[in-house]
């Protein structure tokens, strides 16, 4: 792994968590293993560990979110960090202050981490490039580009049901074109050694040259794509990112690509069904599948807290390591 990767320290440890591109399998497994250790925290009488006590984490959500923002907030609090939720709609940025001025003011309040969600691709990288050296940045979703913690909670969920990534067939179904989740999932699956990743959807919702660019098998027929797969990942239709009418209707989409028990029958008998949420029932899947025995959708939500705890504790813990190394070098001079 290159020491020049911007989101890594020179020692190869996480400084920021912006994308899964450039990260190796060992680091992804480290996140999965640490998150697995945090799963039991939710069952404790006191749902806290002291790993990030005294740290300040600011949630900067320039794009609306409930599930992601809430799980990041819970994760930070379970690490015993202090959490600052910035209401963007009433913040100084909405009154004309530049984003960089907002960041500088928050840094002056001794914030240690920014968790950033933004509608513009590359926004988290921009903030990381301009953040003070002591501040870590975690990407909570930027435009169509990346959603690395969502992909990693999905990898944790798969790992808990299908221990060996190298034996899996995974199908991702729906709006691949606009999905930052799908892009991050595909990178993670390839990095962890999944030999076959299929993307399924109408031609209008699959990127051009997806097979070459993403290293996936493209299927436009749902039954063909689902045959013998071990993991089925459904995606939400992201109409807010569609610039034109790419679908005739939601009813027509469900008729061709909606997941039902009948269609799921061609998958492996022990296949699991996932969805990053929120689910549009009757559009992406019917309720029988969403609430069925193969669904692990609610597990994904719980696993999201553990993965975000893992990522934040790794970044903030590496801050301490980096500071101690710098102090040691200074003392030795």
322 known member of a binding site = no
203 known member of a binding site = no
117 known member of a binding site = yes
236 known member of a binding site = yes
Which residues lie closer than 8 Å to 7 by C-beta, 6 or more apart?
14, 15, 16, 17, 18, 19, 22, 23, 128
241 known member of a binding site = no
Beta strands in the chain (DSSP E): 56-61, 82-86, 113-118, 136-142, 169-173, 196-200, 217-219, 231-234, 272-274
53 known member of a binding site = no
90: its two tokens: 């009433």
Q: Hey, how many other C-beta atoms are within 10 angstroms of the C-beta on 225?
A: 23
150 known member of a binding site = yes
- What is the DSSP secondary-structure string of 5-70? -TTB-TTS-BS-B--STT--HHHHHHHHHHHHHHGGGGGSSS---STTTT-EEEEEESS--SHHHH
147 known member of a binding site = yes
* Binding site residue list for carbamoyl phosphate: 67-68, 117, 147, 150, 277-278
Annotated binding site for L-aspartate: 95, 180, 236
Annotated binding site: 67-68, 95, 117, 147, 150, 180, 236, 277-278
């Amino acid at each position: 792994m290159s020491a020049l990767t911007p989101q890594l320290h020179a020692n190869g440890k996480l400084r920021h968590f912006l994308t899964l591109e450039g990260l190796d399998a060992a680091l992804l497994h480290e996140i999965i293993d640490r998150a697995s250790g945090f799963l039991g925290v939710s069952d404790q009488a006191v749902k806290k560990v002291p790993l990030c006590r005294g740290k300040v984490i600011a949630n900067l959500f320039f794009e609306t979110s409930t599930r992601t923002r809430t799980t990041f907030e819970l994760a930070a609090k379970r690490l015993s960090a202090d959490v600052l939720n910035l209401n963007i709609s009433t913040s100084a940025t909405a009154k004309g202050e530049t984003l960089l001025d907002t960041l500088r003011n928050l840094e002056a309040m001794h914030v240690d981490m920014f968790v950033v969600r933004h509608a513009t691709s590359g926004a988290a990288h921009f903030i990381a490039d301009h953040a003070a050296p002591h501040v870590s940045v975690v990407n909570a979703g930027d435009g169509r580009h990346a959603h690395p913690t969502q992909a990693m909670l999905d990898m944790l969920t798969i790992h808990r049901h299908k221990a060996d990534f190298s034996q899996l067939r995974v199908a991702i179904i729906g709006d691949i074109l606009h999905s930052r989740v799908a892009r991050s999932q595909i990178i993670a699956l390839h990095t962890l050694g999944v030999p076959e990743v299929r993307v399924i959807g109408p031609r209008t919702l699959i990127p051009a040259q997806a097979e070459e660019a993403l290293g996936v098998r493209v299927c436009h027929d749902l039954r063909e794509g689902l045959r013998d797969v071990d993991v089925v990942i459904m995606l939400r239709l992201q109409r807010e990112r569609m610039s034109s009418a790419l679908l005739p209707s939601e009813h027509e989409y469900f008729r061709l690509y909606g997941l039902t028990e009948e269609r799921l029958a061609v998958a492996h008998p022990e296949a699991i069904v996932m969805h990053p949420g929120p689910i549009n029932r009757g559009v992406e899947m019917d309720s029988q599948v969403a609430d069925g025995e193969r669904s692990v959708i609610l597990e994904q939500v719980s696993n999201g807290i553990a993965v975000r705890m893992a990522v934040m504790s790794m970044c903030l813990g590496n801050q301490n390591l980096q500071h101690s190394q710098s102090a040691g070098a200074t003392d030795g001079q």
